[in-house]
Chain A
Amino acid sequence: MTANPRTLAAGISVASNTTLVIIKLVVGIITGSVSIISEAVHSALDLFAAIIAFFSVRESGRPADREHPYGHGKIENLSGAIEAMLILLAAMFIIHEAIDKLKYPQQVKNPVLGLYVIGISIVMNTLVSKHLFRIAGRTDSIALEADAHHLSTDVWTSIGVFIGLGLIRITGWHILDPLVAIAVALMIIRVAFSLTWKAAAPLLDTKLPDEEIGELGEIVMNTPGVRSYHKMRTRKAGPYRQVDFHLIVPAGMPVNEAHAIAERIEQDIRVRFPDAYVVTHIEPDNDDNNRSSSDSTDARPAIG
């Protein structure tokens, strides 16, 4: 695998999480600290999510084939939604742990080595998630964005642990640890919900944003020879846009001319949206003939 920035970014996330799992396990076993070992379990969940992201960006980059004639972009949406569910699961786990601590208060153990491990974890996750966010923005990849969110919620969790421990130092109130954890978990749940929505909307074939539809309409209308258009449908699969519309041209125009216009529109759209796949349905202008009216006011169930 070379040079695909999405695959590379997802690979970095897999590598960094693997490193964190190993560090945490080794330190946890050496010090015998249960809390560090449970941190390792947490990183293992991140690793699992990173692996999902890795495979989904690799799959989604493959061109359309017989089995998936519209390409593989939606694999990213599915993986993004699964990732959002994993984030939600992590948040529930945090809340569950915190409630246990509220019910059975225990002295917070504060091994210095543990703090170092959490510190390394914060630094690595911050760097990797920033990188993932950047590549996700550039390549329009929802799977990478989800992974980036996942890692950044981890950073919040770790910072929450630090703040909780710091406040306990100052005040001596051990109850602060679970309370901070619950606050962080609630923030994470919000991220998980908005991510689920963002990832899942394309699974339902939701339209593109209005600005983009406006631009598409302008490109169509700015092409010479076009009378008008209607029934434009748009949707997105991963980073790829799918567009179809009915193009209205003079009824007596030969097909090769009309097709040249359609080609021109499709090319212009791909200049603006390189990943767009456009299907143009050419339709005769009804006003051009009085002999037949069975055309575009058809009773077909096409929608618009």
Chain B
Amino acid sequence: MDPRVKAASVSLISNIVILTVKLTVGIYTGSLSVISTAVDSINDLSASAIALLSVRAAAAPADQEHPYGHGKFENISGGLQALLIFAAALYIINEAVNKILEPSPIETPGVGAAVMGFTAIAALFLSRYLLRVAQQTESPALRADAYHLTTDVWTSLGAMTALLVVQVTDFRLIDPIVALAIAMAIIHVAYQLTKEAMEVLVDVRLPSEEITFIAETIMKTPRVIGYHKLRTRKSGAARQIDYHLVVPPNVTVQDAHKIAQEIEDRIFYRFPGAQVVTHIEPDTQQ
């Protein structure tokens, strides 16, 4: 199984478990506040479902319909997940403002804190695992899911702390104040993820270090006179590269193609999955 698909499936299943635990505990203890945190879990569940669908789509090889592969499905999914994180933050703000305007007694803070603690730990392990796989596979969809779960860790820890403080001091306003602060941090994460997704979707270039590596690889290949019009972009994990390669004008097509092949192989060795198109051009100075 594709490691991305496996990780996304683990995330989906974990989110289902977390949701089930919250609902069970909430219904069993009759705690409305616990049940209301189940809303977060539904948001998480949607995000991980989107991530799973997109990594499955992205794993398919290039075909007639999508000749450059399906990597951009992951970038779209990253953008949609970022929107869901925004939605989660807005929901938190709305709840917090309501609590400030109409303070309501917090029932069963002990149970609430326990559920929040459980969620925080589960989300922490899950997000670290996802982030690791996301880095190994360069998967933007998994990365977005990992960040989503990281924001859950903050939310749950914040809610747990607030509940414990309330139990000790009865300072109820702490809950919405902490929630608002966390919502701001979450919005920052959502903004970053949206920006990244949009940049890749509009075909922004690769990072400078990678472009430098590609340029150096081209120039240190024997018989290369020069290169120009190097264009780079990314689609999911795959890099798309094309450039004009300048060789002596009397070289045969056969030999020029070998030079190009050598360059393409070297780039591919450094960036597995890269798709390189070389346009061979004669040196007009000669």
Which residues of A come within 8 Å of B, CB atoms? 64, 66-72, 74-75, 77-78, 200, 203-207, 232-235, 237, 244, 249-256, 258-259, 262, 279-284, 288-289, 292, 294-295, 298, 300-304
In the complex formed, the residue of A with least CB distance to B202 is: A74
In the bound complex, residues from chain B placing their C-beta under 8 Å from that of A259 are 280-282
Pick from B64, B203, B280: contact of A70, CB below 8 A. B203
Pick from A200, A237, A279, A303: contact of B203, CB below 8 A. A237
| Min distance, Cβ A68 to any Cβ of chain B, angstroms | 6
| Min distance, Cβ B7 to any Cβ of chain A, angstroms | 22
Which residues of B come within 8 Å of A, CB atoms? 61-62, 64-70, 72-73, 75-76, 198, 201-205, 230-233, 235, 242, 247-254, 256-258, 260-261, 264-265, 268, 273, 275-282
In the complex formed, the residue of A with least CB distance to B238 is: A301
| Extra pairs beyond A69-B233, A205-B66, A252-B252 (19, CB < 8 Å) | A64-B231, A68-B202, A70-B203, A71-B203, A203-B75, A206-B66, A207-B65, A207-B67, A232-B67, A234-B67, A235-B68, A244-B242, A255-B249, A256-B250, A258-B280, A279-B277, A279-B279, A282-B279, A303-B275
Known: A203-B201, A259-B280. A282 touches B256 (CB 8 A): yes
Asked whether B254 lies within 8 Å of A289 as measured between CB atoms, the reply is yes
Asked whether B254 lies within 8 Å of A284 as measured between CB atoms, the reply is yes
In the bound complex, residues from chain B placing their C-beta under 8 Å from that of A66 are 205
In the bound complex, residues from chain B placing their C-beta under 8 Å from that of A233 are 62, 67-68
Task: Determine the distance from Cα of A281 to Cα of B264 in the docked complex, in whole angstroms.
Answer: 12
| Min distance, Cβ A123 to any Cβ of chain B, angstroms | 36
Most buried by B among A71, A204, A244, A252: A204
In the bound complex, residues from chain B placing their C-beta under 8 Å from that of A237 are 203
In the complex formed, the residue of A with least CB distance to B198 is: A78
| Min distance, Cβ A217 to any Cβ of chain B, angstroms | 13
Grouping DSSP codes into helix (H, G, I), strand (E, B) and loop, the B interface class, with mixed when no group exceeds half, is mixed
Asked whether B253 lies within 8 Å of A69 as measured between CB atoms, the reply is no
In the bound complex, residues from chain B placing their C-beta under 8 Å from that of A252 are 252-254
In the bound complex, residues from chain B placing their C-beta under 8 Å from that of A280 are 279
| Min distance, Cβ A141 to any Cβ of chain B, angstroms | 15
Known: A207-B64, A207-B65, A255-B280. A78 touches B249 (CB 8 A): no
Known: A66-B205, A78-B202, A256-B282. A303 touches B253 (CB 8 A): no
In the bound complex, residues from chain A placing their C-beta under 8 Å from that of B204 are 67-68
Task: Determine the distance from Cα of A303 to Cα of B264 in the docked complex, in whole angstroms.
Answer: 14
Most buried by B among A232, A233, A298: A233
In the bound complex, residues from chain A placing their C-beta under 8 Å from that of B250 are 254-256
Asked whether B251 lies within 8 Å of A255 as measured between CB atoms, the reply is yes
Task: Determine the distance from Cα of A289 to Cα of B203 in the docked complex, in whole angstroms.
Answer: 39
Provide a sorted-by-A list of 23 A–B residue pairs whose CB atoms are within 8 angstroms: A68-B205, A69-B231, A70-B203, A72-B202, A74-B203, A75-B202, A200-B76, A203-B76, A207-B65, A235-B67, A244-B242, A252-B254, A254-B251, A254-B252, A281-B277, A282-B257, A284-B254, A292-B254, A294-B261, A300-B268, A303-B67, A303-B275, A304-B67
Known: A233-B67, A284-B252. A78 touches B230 (CB 8 A): no
In the bound complex, residues from chain B placing their C-beta under 8 Å from that of A282 are 253, 256-257, 279-280
In the complex formed, the residue of A with least CB distance to B273 is: A301
Asked whether A205 lies within 8 Å of B277 as measured between CB atoms, the reply is no
| Min distance, Cβ A293 to any Cβ of chain B, angstroms | 12
Asked whether B76 lies within 8 Å of A70 as measured between CB atoms, the reply is no
Known: A203-B201, A300-B268. A70 touches B253 (CB 8 A): no
Going nearest first, the 5 A-B pairs with the smallest beta carbon separation are A69-B231, A233-B67, A256-B282, A303-B62, A256-B249
Task: Determine the distance from Cα of A77 to Cα of B258 in the docked complex, in whole angstroms.
Answer: 38
In the complex formed, the residue of A with least CB distance to B282 is: A256
Asked whether A298 lies within 8 Å of B252 as measured between CB atoms, the reply is no
Most buried by A among B68, B253, B273, B282: B253
| Min distance, Cβ A275 to any Cβ of chain B, angstroms | 15
In the bound complex, residues from chain B placing their C-beta under 8 Å from that of A256 are 249-250, 282
In the complex formed, the residue of B with least CB distance to A281 is: B277
In the bound complex, residues from chain A placing their C-beta under 8 Å from that of B242 are 244, 279
In the bound complex, residues from chain B placing their C-beta under 8 Å from that of A292 are 254
In the bound complex, residues from chain A placing their C-beta under 8 Å from that of B72 are 203-205
